[in-house]
Amino acid sequence: MKKSAVIYDKWLSGMGGGEVVACRIATTLHDAGYDVTLVSQDKVLPEEIKSTLGIDLVGVTLSANYQLLTTNRQSPIPDLFINTSFMDYTFGFAKKNIYYVHFPTVSNKSLLNYASKSYGLKGLYKKYLLAFPSGIFNYVLTFFKITRLHRFLSPTLRERIDDRLRAGIYYNLSKRLKSYQLFITHSKYVKKWVKKAWGINAQVLYPPVNLLTINDLPAGRQGQLLTTKKNWICSVGRFFTLGHGKKQEVMIEAFKKLHDQRLTTNGLQLHLVGGVGNEPSSLRFIEDLRERVKGYPIYFHFNVERWEVEDVLIKSKIYWHAAGFGEDPDKDPIKFEHFGIAPIEAISAGCIPILFNGGGLTEIVDMLGLSKDKHLFDTVEELVDKTKLLMNETLPPSIQDNIVKLFSKEHFTSEFLNLIT
């Protein structure tokens, strides 16, 4: 009899890096002989995933039935449950439960923890107060959920509260975390914060990446990769302002400075690729960006299919990533890039990376053996100067070899199956 597995990704319809991980876990388990169901908040069609993420979920059942996430179900209890949902602390209910943590949203810097330490009640926080996702904020959210009084607040605050309510309010967090036997995360950066926030040692499993090396591309596109690159700079990431926003506004201002100096070769362009949701804050953000780019060769690729993402990466010389820029690493660690699947894809396509010096991005530079002096930036001026320096360089072949060893689907599959068994 086949073993069964339920994977939960609440935000599957967002089609971001976390969804790549969830879908790769699903295909890995299916290929290993499991009967796999992938549950999400909204119904998502397999052809949408194949078109946007380039992952074929043949044999995997997609469902928006939340009843599958409880023991109160008609079908037998599954052998394996894997929660890959950001900000969702659903109880583990299977014979074995794994939580793939994108980032812990409970911090030891909460008001209740501070108060408990101030009054010498250090153990009180972990035993009782950690039962609430983020201390007093949980009570405030509950109040707004019941009364809906936040409708009278400013549009920005109302949207932020609605976004958190959409994610869910979860009591008894300590008990929920104890229902999982294994915690996995995708970088040493997140592992550090899981330990700080929850006191839990997570296993690091670097995510699988749709690599664009010459051996990973279909025959029809291999020749395209070998042609001369264009004088394009690109970046890939969702267009939104909540959480770890990708800071497209910072890259636009840097490009305008670079362009105005007129020291670069002809045909310089900036291409910004990523998904856009329907939330009002994201739509306002898009309109602001459109105003900023007027008069400059800056191009947006909103909600495009996978082939177009690959096309931009293959043609571009330089890849920028600015998530975390201007944020406080101690106060808001969640606003930094937790790892960075898109930069790895870009580097595999031969793009020279210039990444913000923070979060999981520094980990990528270390792992691939790249120079921190050349490939990390702290200021807009540094980003401009390093781009001018690197525009006519190429990546050494050893970088491609390192990427295949560390981030290929085959490597992920082997490491993941070792972890769960």
- Indicate the number of domains in the chain: 3
Q: What is the rounded average pLDDT of the residues 333-344?
A: 91
Asked whether residue 380 is domain-assigned, the answer is yes
Asked whether residue 244 is domain-assigned, the answer is yes
Cα separation, 351 vs 387, whole angstroms: 12
Alpha-carbon torsion (100, 104, 108, 113), positive or negative? negative
**Could you tell me if 161 and 95 lie in one domain?**
no
pLDDT tens digit sequence for 309-324? 999 999 999 999 999 9
Provide the H-helix boundaries in 91-187: 111-118, 122-127, 136-147, 155-167, 173-178
More reliable by pLDDT, 149 or 127:
149
Asked whether residue 45 is domain-assigned, the answer is yes
Phi (first) and psi of residue 62, to 5 degrees: -100, 135
Specify which residues 354 forms β-bridges with.
320
What percent of the chain stands above pLDDT 70? Answer: 84
In terms of DSSP bridges, do strands 318-321 and 298-302 run parallel, antiparallel, or are they unpaired? unpaired
Residue type, 87: M
Which pLDDT band, with edges at 50, 70 and 90, does 139 fall under?
A: low
Crossing angle for the helix pair 46-53 and 306-315, to the nearest 10 degrees: 10
**Could you tell me if 300 and 163 lie in one domain?**
no
Cα separation, 395 vs 11, whole angstroms: 35
Asked whether residue 214 is domain-assigned, the answer is no
Domain with 303, as residue range(s), is 219-406
Asked whether residue 181 is domain-assigned, the answer is yes
Single pTM value for the model? 0.81
**Could you tell me if 116 and 200 lie in one domain?**
no
Asked whether residue 189 is domain-assigned, the answer is yes
376, 358 contact by CB (below 8 A): no
Number of other CB atoms surrounding residue 420 within 10 Å? 17
**Could you tell me if 291 and 180 lie in one domain?**
no
Phi (first) and psi of residue 37, to 5 degrees: -120, 130
Asked whether residue 79 is domain-assigned, the answer is yes
Please return the burial class of 371, using the count of CB atoms within 10 Å of its CB with bins 0-12, 13-18 and 19+: exposed
Assigned token pair, 2? 């086949």
**Could you tell me if 283 and 159 lie in one domain?**
no
Assigned token pair, 21? 């991980």
Which pLDDT band, with edges at 50, 70 and 90, does 148 fall under?
A: confident
Q: What pLDDT score was predicted for residue 129?
A: 40
**Could you tell me if 30 and 122 lie in one domain?**
no
In terms of DSSP bridges, do strands 269-274 and 298-302 run parallel, antiparallel, or are they unpaired? parallel
Asked whether residue 213 is domain-assigned, the answer is no
Cα separation, 218 vs 216, whole angstroms: 7
Q: What pLDDT score was predicted for residue 156?
A: 72
Provide the H-helix boundaries in 199-303: 219-226, 248-261, 280-292
**Could you tell me if 27 and 50 lie in one domain?**
yes
**Could you tell me if 98 and 119 lie in one domain?**
no
**Could you tell me if 82 and 62 lie in one domain?**
yes
**Could you tell me if 269 and 373 lie in one domain?**
yes
Domain of 102, CATH number, reads 3.40.50.2000
Query: For residues 343-363, b (16+ Cβ closer than 10 Å) or e, as one string?
Result: bbbbbbbbbbbbbbbbbbbbb
pLDDT tens digit sequence for 247-299? 999 999 999 999 998 765 678 999 999 988 877 888 889 999 999 999 999 99
Query: Helix or strand or coil: residue 259?
Result: helix
**Could you tell me if 32 and 63 lie in one domain?**
yes
**Could you tell me if 239 and 181 lie in one domain?**
no
